[in-house]
Amino acid sequence: MKKLIIFTILLQNILFANPNALNQATIEDIMQERQEEVERIMATRQQSGESLFTQKPTIENKDKYISNNVSINNTSSNIDNYPQMQYEQQYSQEIPAYTEEQLLLMKQAIRNKDLRAVQKKFLEKKYTGFENTIQIPYEENKTQKIRTRFTMATTIIFESKIESYILGDQSGYKVEEIPNMPNAISIKPFLIGIDTNLTIFTKDKKIHNFFLYSTDYKNKELPNLLVKILDDESKILTQKQMEEEARKYFVIKEGIAEIKVEKEQMDFSYIKKAKKYNEWLIPSEVFNDDTFTYFKYDKKQNGKVPVIFAVIDKHDTPVETKVIGDWIIAESRNDKWTIWNGESYVCIEKVKPNNQEQKVVE
């Protein structure tokens, strides 16, 4: 009977949050199985003449109890602790052994329980979706407050690129830089009810200081999930820098991969030779700078990336290449190149600027 009671208590604890996770038929099957097991044990003890319930040990029956149940040191302290020892031994040995199917059902019950950890403020009819975004005008030497929330990330966006930052509590908060967004940063609290400071240095030589504190789903105030730092001065400066960069550099970019080529170094003095049926393989643009050679192919029209070889001593020699966007970049400079795609090929040769042309061989 004690086995049945223990099993019932364990099952109730597991299913407390969601009693519907196991269907009634399954529960009855488990209970029936345990009941049959208890009945078998009781029948065995009756046949052997053993008492159905273990006799509570006393000083008089100590020796018999020791020989039949446990091995202990013959000290007065152990004699006084017999009832507790008997209880611990009996209950530690009678933990029911569940089948894999039973364990799986219990795990599913735990997973399916309703955590009720949704912040109700998000679900109110008055919620418009703009409440989590704030815009803060930059003020020199002012510390701005940002309300964060456990299990959520807050993103801070600046007008200028971020140069570096200092986080006060690195064990309670995590700061992450965002790929391809040098002017943004993400912060996330690891704990509830903590605070710290965050200082960010931007490339426009300005310092931004923040006081961060974390809440949870029970808080009546919504967290600040998107924080925009407005700064007209930095915006104008950033725009000027972008215009200056566009005048100075030719930028090849795809995702986080980026190469800047100084326009003054770009040399387009190449002649392209191909047979008529290989004309489709001719790159639309070819140029080199002081380090690399660049070949442009439209990805949409050319599904397979051509292979670039440098012609050295009249032999095609493999070179290291990388692809960024529509450009194949050979990490070398050479006067002659061969471009292969299957059985088709194109020859590229460097010439003087006034002789630059494209030739199609019949």
Find out whether 158 and 184 touch, Cβ atoms under 8 Å: yes
pLDDT at 356: 53
Contacts of 296 (CB under 8 A, 6+ apart): 283, 284, 285, 286, 326, 327, 328
The predicted pLDDT at position 103 comes to 74
What's the confidence (pLDDT) of residue 243? 85
- Res 108: pLDDT: 66
Q: Are 204 and 237 in contact (CB under 8 A)?
A: yes
Would you write out the chain's pLDDT as a tens digit for each of its 362 residues? 544 444 555 555 544 444 444 455 555 565 666 666 656 666 665 666 654 444 444 444 445 444 444 444 444 444 444 444 444 444 444 455 677 776 776 666 666 666 667 788 888 888 899 999 999 999 999 999 999 999 999 999 998 899 999 999 999 999 999 988 999 999 999 999 999 999 999 998 999 999 999 999 888 899 999 999 998 887 788 788 888 888 999 999 998 888 999 999 999 999 999 999 999 999 999 999 999 999 999 988 777 889 999 999 999 999 999 999 999 999 999 999 999 999 999 999 998 755 555 554 44
pLDDT at 339: 95
DSSP, residue by residue, 314-355: TEEEE--EEEETTEEEESS--SEEEEEETTEEEEEEE--GGG
- Structural domains of the chain sorted by starting position, each given as residue range(s) with its CATH number in brackets: 2-111 (no CATH), 131-235 (2.60.40.1860), 266-361 (2.60.40.2500)
φ, ψ at 52 (rounded to 5°): -65, -25
255: Cβ contacts below 8 Å, ≥ 6 apart: 179, 180
DSSP letter at 20? T
Residue 291's CB: how many other CB atoms inside 10 A?
12
Report the run of H or E that residue 205 belongs to, with start and end: none
What is the four-CA torsion angle of 348, 349, 354, 360, rounded to 10 degrees?
-50
Q: What is the pLDDT of residue 267?
A: 95
Amino acid at 339: I
Neighbouring residues of 302: CB distance < 8 A, sequence distance ≥ 6: 341
